[in-house]
Structure 1
């Protein structure tokens, strides 16, 4: 269910579902408060999951924050204003830098999960052109056309479209991907295709920067989950975080690409994340 918050002279939308220990989930690119990945499973496992739409997505204005550090400070204040004094931060993909900044020097954060997450500035071909203000409207139009095409193919050819979706963010060959997907994966990707879409937040995502010292200042328990087959956010991002946060735990996902919730190890990875969150909330309560 969508909620609209009005805090600190800013309006933004978010989801707040479930009961139990709080998980603040920071979604990735081209998503919003309706994030599909792992949310329902976390709620079923006994967690309260809060998912705010990041700047430029959903009903949240791009001007809400100019950097991950600024957005993290905003979320920290918002959570405190709601009298939520203990929570886990779960950063997905391009939500990684904000998750890192939020967990750094923040005693309210009991643990941090980084799932296929960016941990430093990403580099893309033609990136300098992609962030030009004059190109934002044409790029949004291209995104809209692309997602319209994806949704059409998911409806008409769900199995093949699912393989192609994973292929876009995978280092594996198409046939290798096809062998690793099952019906549950196809259903999840169908939901993703129908929910995800273009947003001005891509501009925020492409210009994110985070200092290495921010990672070094994280003292809460950290779990990094990443696949070597990830093309969208290369495996090197996980290794970078692991070097900067020596106490971090690490799981190498067997996912066939960027999405750790897809493929033969998906449920294992989810359960490990749920267990990690639960243990660290339990420690906080004793």
Structure 2
């Protein structure tokens, strides 16, 4: 998607300069990235959805251009997102969240149910204890160690960490557009984004994996809006069974596995990702076929 069709904007939310990108008109779709990723990573998704929807890609506080200052717990971030929607005067959205952003989207649907008309969880956190050992190691870093690591990685020579993280997060890096790699490189050089990302690891993880305080799996039955869970079939960070279990607990849940995709599945396998997301977002538009009322979590291939 060309930058010419994407509007880069800032608003004040709780006194914080908040960065977001916007494209298209119509019902609102909110895209929430995870940590160590950038709102610009959603540009290809924005380009396809903007033909029928107003698509907003938000940078969370301390990540990717938005000022820090909000506690990094997913529920606190979700409250910030609700305030952001108030500032934009957007009553409700189709909320799409990836990884940590998926945990934020789930909390938004649970704590502010009137703000979410549909929910999409993409390789989301908070759906089970299991997590890759590297995430546990980062969670166990003391604060001083995390600050030191963010400083080292942000140096020019520390960009090698981008290559290492890509091997963990992606399975098909050759599928990634150059502008996305450029955005990732800039993000990897941001000490603030790195520091906040490590804060998220420390707040959300521990020796036994994902912390009990961020788990929403037992509350998913409270989310009654149509929901879609999308997972990379070879995600090493969060196992695919967490997504399948989550879809079965959602009253109107559907589940799609993207074969060959890793943790950042919407970049690894963009075409199949849009094959799942596009109809789910658009199936209430005039002239669209009426969807089945519920789906109890069967795999959608």
Q: Would you call these one fold, judging by a TM-score over 0.5?
A: yes
Cα deviations across residues 126-149 of structure 1 (Å, max 9, x unaligned)?
Answer: 24532x221232121343257623
2:278 is matched with: 274
1:88 is matched with: 94
Residues 45 and 128 (structure 1), Cα distance of their counterparts in 2 relative to 1, 3 Å cut? same
Task: Flag the structure with more relative contact order, 1 or 2, with Cα contacts below 8 A and sequence separation at least 6.
Answer: 1
Map 1:47-126; keep pairs closer than 5 Å. 47-104=53-110, 105-120=112-127, 123=131, 124-126=135-137
1:154 is matched with: none
Q: Quick one: distance in 2 between partners of 1:87 and 1:127?
A: 33
Q: Quick one: distance in 1 between partners of 2:72 and 2:166?
A: 30
State the TM-score, normalizing by the size of structure 1. Answer: 0.77
Q: Which runs of 5+ in 1 are unaligned?
A: 152-160, 171-176
Paired residues of 1:56 and 1:204 also in contact (CA < 8 A) = no
State the TM-score, normalizing by the size of structure 2. Answer: 0.74
Q: How many residues are treated as equivalent by the alignment? A: 262
Residues 234 and 196 (structure 1), Cα distance of their counterparts in 2 relative to 1, 3 Å cut? farther
Residues 221 and 143 (structure 1), Cα distance of their counterparts in 2 relative to 1, 3 Å cut? farther
Residues 81 and 40 (structure 1), Cα distance of their counterparts in 2 relative to 1, 3 Å cut? closer
Residues 46 and 8 (structure 1), Cα distance of their counterparts in 2 relative to 1, 3 Å cut? same
Residues 261 and 71 (structure 1), Cα distance of their counterparts in 2 relative to 1, 3 Å cut? closer
Q: Quick one: distance in 1 between partners of 2:227 and 2:261?
A: 23
Q: Quick one: distance in 2 between partners of 1:212 and 1:261?
A: 22
Paired residues of 1:90 and 1:99 also in contact (CA < 8 A) = yes
SS in structure 2 opposite 1:15? strand
Cα deviations across residues 211-234 of structure 1 (Å, max 9, x unaligned)?
Answer: 434422211111111022111232
Q: Which runs of 5+ in 2 are unaligned?
A: 1-6, 205-213, 291-301
Q: Quick one: distance in 1 between partners of 2:167 and 2:92?
A: 38
Measured on the aligned residues, the alpha-carbon RMSD in Å equals 3.1
